[in-house]
Structure 1
């Protein structure tokens, strides 16, 4: 059987998209190659036509996932007409983001798991986190200058990721909402104190 030009790359992209969602929703270790390939209508053997190992897929998912999260944040900032940092914080720490981990930020969904992955995977994640920090830094008020800009952006990202992770983990819906509310207030106060 002959496939159209670009078929292999399209199939690879389908695998990455399905894996990215499954990893963020279920966790990396909970997703097996067999079930993942079943999700995209392929066999386990077909997986190895695209990736040498599951860890190579994990790295690609982390790279594409952090890039997508950064782009979503940038799009929100661009559409905000004003204080971009406010739109970024409010969107990131929203009930919608909390309730949809499969399409959300890799850092909030997978950072605890990524801490135990091979160094090559953590390097890819580090690069993605650096991009998020740089984006946040670009939205800060002009009064925040020099090294303080990056330090503040790092603190804001850390606060947002931690808040979102906790809001997903607690069993009490009211507490989850409260965590998001207080997290938004705290991140914005941190920025505005500059």
Structure 2
């Protein structure tokens, strides 16, 4: 039986969405194709018409998760500036829901061990975000790209550390300390907070 193109595209999108959530929640290595396809409501045999390998799915799902995150960041920046973005990223809600959160914070160690294609897709997505946000920083920030990279590194590392510890009060303290550090990185050399990220 042949299906129309729209149905095939919808199935592929569903597989990518399910995989992105499962990879972030459980890890790439711990997530099998059978569980992804089952969660997507499809049979195992339906995988290969959409993707040539698990590596291809990993690249597509990580890119999709990062694009979704870009849209969320843009929305937060439009609504409340850098403060809203930092507060949302380093919130207890984000910490406690890795399946719907930042792909970088959930997957960096595994992405570093993935295929060159997956690492290339990840790199391109990150550079697109850095370039988009660096262009929004005020001109008085001399190294805008460097500032964005430092903020990202601080946010991602903070979230990873806050998720790893087993004491809720320490985890909350880590989130607060990381947020303060990210805010300082987003200040101009004169010590003024940047209005846009």
Question: What does residue range 1-194 of structure 1 map to in structure 2 within 5 Å?
Answer: 1=1, 3-80=3-80, 84-145=81-142, 148-194=143-189
- State the alpha-carbon separation in 2 of the partners of residues 100 and 107 from structure 1: 14
Contact preservation (8 Å) 1:85, 1:140: no
Residue by residue over 1:104-159, the C-alpha shift from the partner in whole angstroms, topping out at 9 and shown as x without a partner, is 111111111100001111111111111232344244344213xx111111101000
Residue 5 of structure 1: how far off its partner (Å):
4.7
Contact preservation (8 Å) 1:70, 1:135: no
Query: How many residues align structurally?
Result: 189
- State the alpha-carbon separation in 2 of the partners of residues 139 and 95 from structure 1: 27
3-state SS of 1:12 partner:
helix
Structure 1 ranges of 4+ moved more than 6 A: none
Residue 64 of structure 1: how far off its partner (Å):
0.8
Q: How large is the RMSD of aligned CA atoms in angstroms?
A: 1.5
Q: TM-score, normalised by structure 2?
A: 0.90
Q: TM-score, normalised by structure 1?
A: 0.92
- State the alpha-carbon separation in 1 of the partners of residues 154 and 28 from structure 2: 23
Residue 170 of structure 1: how far off its partner (Å):
1.1
The runs of 5 or more residues in structure 2 that have no matched partner are: 190-197
